A and B are shown apart, each in its own frame.
Chain A
Amino acid sequence: MSRLLTGLAAVVLALTAAGCAARSAGSYVDRGIDFTQYRTYDWGPADALPAGDPRLATHAYFQDYVQGAIERRLAVRGFGRPASGAPDLLIHYHASITQRIAVDPFDREFGACYDENCRVRVTDYEAGLLVLDVVDARTGRVVWRGWARHGVADILNNPDRMARRINEAVTGMLQTLPAAAQVTAGTSSLQTGGKE
């Protein structure tokens, strides 16, 4: 009985680990830049980074999810689209999927083994990486880059879960983007925008 429980615990932990191991995020910022000079943004042309995975490029909703999530988070950070004229910032993103290797760390610690030799399992998984660049429209310099990485095994065929994952990733990465110049009008227009 207790062996079964330990086994179960190991499986649960292994599943959790598969999610955690693949999840990471970070950002870089141009420290010499005063972000309070920026208020508006627009989508710029994609850059020359290697092409994304065809499963994402041809996905019916992926790009909508990503763009929607980014636009919502940017609004929360105080950035909006320009009413007229040129935007302060141009943004573009790049998504890719790479195969990665993971070593299952839990079997041994919990004494729950797949075979009598208690060998470590080395597994491979696919990790999705989303990179977002924020470019000063005037100078053409990238002033901020954020990224998030997560396993994609369970989301490629599940649009709802994909939308949720992308939201989490975008929210997490844009947390570190310095906020835009404070404009009270921007906040209120966001709130009314939600009701319409």
Chain B
Amino acid sequence: MTRHRRVLGLAAAAIAALTLAGCATMHVRSYVGRDADFGRYRTYGWGVEAALPTGDPRLDSNPFFQERLRTAVDTQLAARAFERIDAAEADLLLHYHVSVTQRIDVNLIDQKYGYCEDCRPEVYDAGTLTLDLVDTRTGRLVWRGWAERSIDGMLEEQDWMEQQIDEAVARILARLPRTL
């Protein structure tokens, strides 16, 4: 019984540790339109720059962020044999959105199982980058991929920010249903 409990506790702690690491690591996910035929798409174009505020004025209309992102996306899509052409003629329209929100991680599970030495709630800024692909013929969203991670300290360092943009874009677009 005690042994059983300990195993459970350890498992919970392991999960908690993974979740905790969660605020420092990047999570990448995607949705795909079930009836979308990705074999049909060959070309893409950039949609109009989203005017939505990011939630962080440091990133609002920030050309250093935007240009790095566009270059990273163009590189990744070219590697997957997508050709960038004028948006009016393209098969796919590409949009992105960035948002920043402050989150709290209270480390509840860790505290319960005494797994952490330093069981304090943590506050961090979570940044989310979302890439959308819209079928220009039907106007439907056919794919959405996003990456989320703590951006604490990232906006202080241009080099680090750029490296994280590259990594996020590469990992998001690696999930595109396209095999070549």
B120 touches A105 (CB 8 A): yes
**Neighbouring B residues of A160 by C-beta, 8 Å:** none
**Neighbouring A residues of B155 by C-beta, 8 Å:** 26, 147
**Neighbouring A residues of B121 by C-beta, 8 Å:** 103, 120, 122
Q: Is B74 an interface residue (CB 8 A)?
A: no
Interface residues of B (CB under 8 A from A): 51, 53, 57-58, 60-65, 102, 104, 120-123, 155-158, 161
A131 touches B122 (CB 8 A): no
Q: Is A90 an interface residue (CB 8 A)?
A: no
Say what secondary structure dominates the interface of chain A.
Answer: strand
**Neighbouring A residues of B158 by C-beta, 8 Å:** 26-29
| Assembly CA distance A100 to B53 (angstroms) | 18
Q: Counting chain B CB atoms within 10 Å of each CB, which of A48, A96, A129, A145 scores highest? A: A145
Q: Which of B58, B123, B156 contacts A129 (CB 8 A)?
A: B58
Q: Which of A28, A108, A122, A131 contacts B57 (CB 8 A)?
A: A131
**Neighbouring B residues of A122 by C-beta, 8 Å:** 104, 121, 123
B57 touches A96 (CB 8 A): yes
Q: Is A20 an interface residue (CB 8 A)?
A: no
Q: Is A161 an interface residue (CB 8 A)?
A: no
A142 touches B63 (CB 8 A): yes
**Neighbouring A residues of B123 by C-beta, 8 Å:** 101-103, 122
Interface residues of A (CB under 8 A from B): 24-30, 47-50, 94, 96, 100-103, 105, 108, 120, 122, 129, 131, 141-142, 145, 147
**Neighbouring B residues of A96 by C-beta, 8 Å:** 57
| Assembly CA distance A28 to B154 (angstroms) | 12
| Assembly CA distance A100 to B156 (angstroms) | 18
CB B116 to nearest CB in A, in angstroms, measures 12
Selected A-B contacts with CB under 8 Å, 8 pairs: A24-B156, A27-B158, A28-B64, A49-B60, A49-B61, A103-B123, A131-B58, A142-B63
**Neighbouring A residues of B58 by C-beta, 8 Å:** 26, 129, 131, 145, 147
B102 touches A100 (CB 8 A): yes
Q: Which of B61, B64, B161 contacts A30 (CB 8 A)?
A: B64
B53 touches A50 (CB 8 A): yes
CB A10 to nearest CB in B, in angstroms, measures 15
| Assembly CA distance A141 to B102 (angstroms) | 30
Closest to A50 in B: B53
**Neighbouring B residues of A30 by C-beta, 8 Å:** 63-64
B62 touches A48 (CB 8 A): no
